């Protein structure tokens, strides 16, 4: 574990894998910490990637500013981290809150990246997400981190994942509860109070971009990802079957495989973005299928697209 200075603050990060390999930088979601990427680190290092994981400012073992934190701080930290990685190809991915940080970095410093993967994320705050965010903040304030976890677990993970853990949920939640301080989470959430939509700036992202959305993600549903797809020129939307918002936790082998395949496609110039829509396989290594033509990928029902 290494530490990086950002002003008077310290950021904990970890670099793994061969120094000469292409790099993957993984950005946490709101209540996460670096160790939750361990399975990704192992899978990507085995494929000769250099992997960077870290705790965002205000998270885990990174410093937690007492009162004031802005999303600009996260982008600045990411810039410091990525500047350390040399001239090889660099791929950046982030989930949810981390996806916004990654999008903002790509808008401002995309020339330093070979590719971007935006997972369960968004560039705007429509009413449902805005209100859900408020509910989560209020829940955190009134019920603490544990209550926030209780809200997020059933929202973001499937019955299949939850069922075997139901009788030991307290121990599942404990590490997240221990490393997350209420005030620090609240500061992270309040960095959204002056959130400006990124949508008008998305066309500044010129690099290959894979957008991943869980089939059943209702926290950040498909239209939010489709907005990324339609505004980022060289992008493709991959729908992850039977997945919810936190599919990176639930389907780590599949997601790590898709990350590696995306990077390989980009580096061998086989990437086909072009605003296409795909369906990920159920298991790692399976075929990525194009979304059936003629159907509306924004609907849950098999509605045919209107013909013009």
Specify the residue, 139 or 233, whose C-beta has the smaller distance to another protein.
139
Specify the residue, 6 or 295, whose C-beta has the smaller distance to another protein.
6
CB of 96 to another protein, least distance (A): 22
> Residues with Cβ < 8 Å from 204, sequence gap 6 or more?
107, 110
Among 45, 151, 182, 284, binds another protein (CB under 8 A): 182
Terminal alpha carbon distance of the chain = 57
CB of 173 to another protein, least distance (A): 12
Applying CB under 8 A, which part among 30-38, 77-85, 117-125, 177-185 lies near another protein? 177-185
Q: Which residue has the tokens 């995306």?
A: 262
CA atoms 190, 196, 202, 205: torsion sign: negative
**Region for residue 114 given its phi and psi (left: phi exceeds 0; alpha: psi -120 to 50; beta: otherwise):** alpha
Q: Rounded distance, CA 58 to CA 253, Å?
A: 28
Residue 61 in contact with another protein, rule: CB under 8 A: yes
CB of 152 to another protein, least distance (A): 16
Q: Smallest Cα–Cα separation from 289: which of 228, 251, 247, 236?
A: 236
Applying CB under 8 A, which part among 28-36, 60-68, 106-114, 217-225 lies near another protein? 60-68
CB of 146 to another protein, least distance (A): 9
Residue 12 in contact with another protein, rule: CB under 8 A: yes
94-153 residues near another protein, rule: CB under 8 A: 140-144
Residue 178 in contact with another protein, rule: CB under 8 A: yes
Number of residues that bind another protein (CB under 8 A): 28
Quick one: tokens of 291?
A: 């979304």
SS3 266: helix
Q: How far is CA 40 from the centre of its chain?
A: 13
Q: Which residue has the tokens 């600009």?
A: 72
Specify the residue, 28 or 62, whose C-beta has the smaller distance to another protein.
62
Applying CB under 8 A, which part among 25-33, 65-73, 248-256, 297-305 lies near another protein? 65-73
Element (H, E) at 187: helix 182-190
Residue 63 in contact with another protein, rule: CB under 8 A: yes
Residue 181 in contact with another protein, rule: CB under 8 A: yes
Q: Rounded distance, CA 13 to CA 11, Å?
A: 6
Q: Smallest Cα–Cα separation from 40: which of 253, 265, 263?
A: 253
Helix intervals (H) in 47-96: 71-83
Q: Smallest Cα–Cα separation from 302: which of 294, 238, 226, 227?
A: 294
Residue 62 in contact with another protein, rule: CB under 8 A: yes
Q: How many CB atoms lie within 10 A of CB 293?
A: 7
CB of 182 to another protein, least distance (A): 4
Residue 201 in contact with another protein, rule: CB under 8 A: no
Residue 53 in contact with another protein, rule: CB under 8 A: no
CB of 133 to another protein, least distance (A): 17
Q: How far apart, in Å, are the Cα atoms of 26 and each of 15, 101, 137, 301?
A: 11, 11, 25, 33
Residue 168 in contact with another protein, rule: CB under 8 A: no
Among 48, 174, 272, 299, binds another protein (CB under 8 A): 174
For another protein, the binding residues (CB under 8 A) are 3, 5, 8-10, 12, 61-64, 66-68, 140-144, 170-171, 174, 177-178, 181-184, 186
């Amino acid at each position: 574990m290494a530490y990086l200075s950002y002003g008077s603050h310290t950021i904990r990060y970890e670099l793994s894998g061969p120094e000469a390999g292409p790099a993957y930088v993984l950005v946490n979601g709101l209540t996460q910490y670096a160790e939750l990427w361990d399975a990704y680190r192992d899978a990507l290092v085995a494929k000769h990637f250099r992997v960077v994981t870290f705790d965002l400012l205000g998270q885990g073992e990174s410093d937690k500013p007492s009162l004031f934190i802005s999303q600009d701080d996260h982008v600045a930290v990411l810039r410091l981290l990525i500047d350390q990685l040399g001239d090889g190809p660099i791929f950046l991915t982030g989930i949810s809150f981390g996806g916004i940080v990654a999008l903002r970095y790509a808008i401002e410093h995309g020339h330093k990246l070979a590719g971007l993967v935006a997972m369960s994320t968004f560039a705007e705050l429509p009413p449902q997400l805005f209100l859900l965010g408020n509910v989560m903040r209020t829940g955190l304030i009134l019920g603490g981190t544990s209550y926030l976890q209780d809200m997020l677990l059933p929202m973001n993970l499937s019955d299949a994942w939850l069922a075997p853990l139901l009788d030991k949920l307290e121990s599942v939640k404990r590490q997240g509860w221990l490393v997350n301080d209420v005030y620090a989470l609240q500061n992270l959430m309040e960095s959204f109070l002056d959130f400006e939509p990124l949508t008008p700036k998305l066309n500044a992202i010129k690099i290959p971009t894979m957008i991943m959305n869980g089939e059943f993600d209702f926290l950040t549903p498909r239209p939010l990802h489709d907005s990324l797809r339609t505004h980022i020129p060289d992008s493709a939307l991959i729908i992850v079957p039977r997945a919810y918002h936190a599919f990176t936790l639930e389907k780590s082998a599949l997601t790590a495989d898709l990350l590696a395949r995306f990077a390989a496609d980009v580096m061998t110039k086989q990437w086909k973005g072009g605003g296409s829509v795909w369906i990920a396989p159920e298991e790692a290594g399976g075929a990525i299928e194009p979304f059936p033509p003629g159907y509306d990928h924004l609907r849950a029902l098999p509605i045919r697209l209107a013909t013009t």
